């Protein structure tokens, strides 16, 4: 592996995984792979194999893969006075308190891009550092990845295939043109290793 010229350097399993899964090529510079390998006392090829394994375990997959409308693990929040809902689903390890959000058309039963006049904003009640976009609307996955990878930035994502990363237990505001803001809290998804509280057994139904 010599230099970062794609025509000269040896491809690793990480290159193949990034290209197949995310549609980007040469996402991780050779020098970065070699430095990381030296730090961990392994080879770039072994480190690449480990990185691919970890991303597969974490559920890192391409923009566009969405749960079906009847998936019982997905949470829905109906947007008042509209044909849309917000959907939430978990894909990461339990230690990562980030879940995915998209818009869903309740009439056609399909995910859609952010409707015209809609935007998601971090609520002021969040603590410092919960969201990077403290002073602006939340950005979709494709928009954020486009800051780093030319291949992604130049790719047109098909309708309904983008999503947002949101933090569990955080507060988000849905803004829409001509209607009051709609504030909601992102729920915390259950973890199998933790016991959950139940409703008060002494309260009247």
Q: Provide the residue range defining the domain that includes 169.
A: 75-185
183 forms beta bridges with 173
**Is residue 104 assigned to a domain?**
yes
Q: Which of 5, 26, 58 is the last residue of a domain?
A: 58
Per-residue pLDDT reduced to its tens digit, 126-137 = 988 888 777 889
**Is residue 5 assigned to a domain?**
no
Q: Are residues 88 and 155 in the same domain?
A: yes
- How is residue 73 written in tokens? 């693990």
**Is residue 161 assigned to a domain?**
yes
Measured from the Cβ of residue 160, the count of other Cβ atoms closer than 10 Å reads: 17
**Which residue, among 65, 81, 85, 54, has the nearest Cα to 21 in the 3D structure?**
65
Q: Are residues 97 and 47 in the same domain?
A: no
CB 186 within 8 A of CB 168: yes
Per-residue pLDDT reduced to its tens digit, 177-198 = 999 999 999 999 998 889 989 9
pTM of the complete model: 0.68
Q: Are residues 113 and 177 in the same domain?
A: yes
**Is residue 118 assigned to a domain?**
yes
> Going by DSSP bridges, is the β-strand pair 179-185/164-167 parallel, antiparallel, or unpaired?
unpaired
């Amino acid at each position: 592996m010599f230099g970062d010229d794609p025509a000269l350097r040896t491809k690793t399993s990480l290159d193949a995984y990034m290209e197949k899964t995310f549609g980007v090529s040469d996402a991780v510079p050779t020098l970065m792979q070699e430095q990381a390998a030296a730090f961990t006392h392994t080879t770039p090829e072994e480190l690449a194999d480990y990185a691919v394994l970890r991303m597969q375990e974490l559920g890192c997959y391409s923009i566009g893969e969405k749960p079906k409308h009847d998936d019982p693990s997905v949470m829905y929040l109906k947007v008042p006075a509209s044909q849309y809902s917000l959907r939430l689903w978990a894909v990461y390890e339990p230690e990562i308190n980030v879940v995915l959000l998209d818009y869903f058309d309740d009439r056609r039963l399909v995910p859609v891009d952010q409707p015209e006049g809609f935007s998601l904003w971090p609520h002021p009640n969040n603590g410092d550092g919960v969201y990077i976009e403290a002073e602006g609307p939340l950005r979709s996955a494709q928009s954020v990845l486009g800051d780093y990878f030319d291949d992604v930035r130049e790719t047109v994502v098909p309708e309904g295939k983008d999503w947002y990363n949101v933090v569990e237990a955080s507060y988000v505001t849905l803004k829409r043109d001509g209607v009051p803001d709609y504030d909601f809290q992102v729920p915390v998804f259950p973890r199998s290793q933790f016991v959950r509280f139940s409703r008060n057994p002494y309260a009247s139904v």
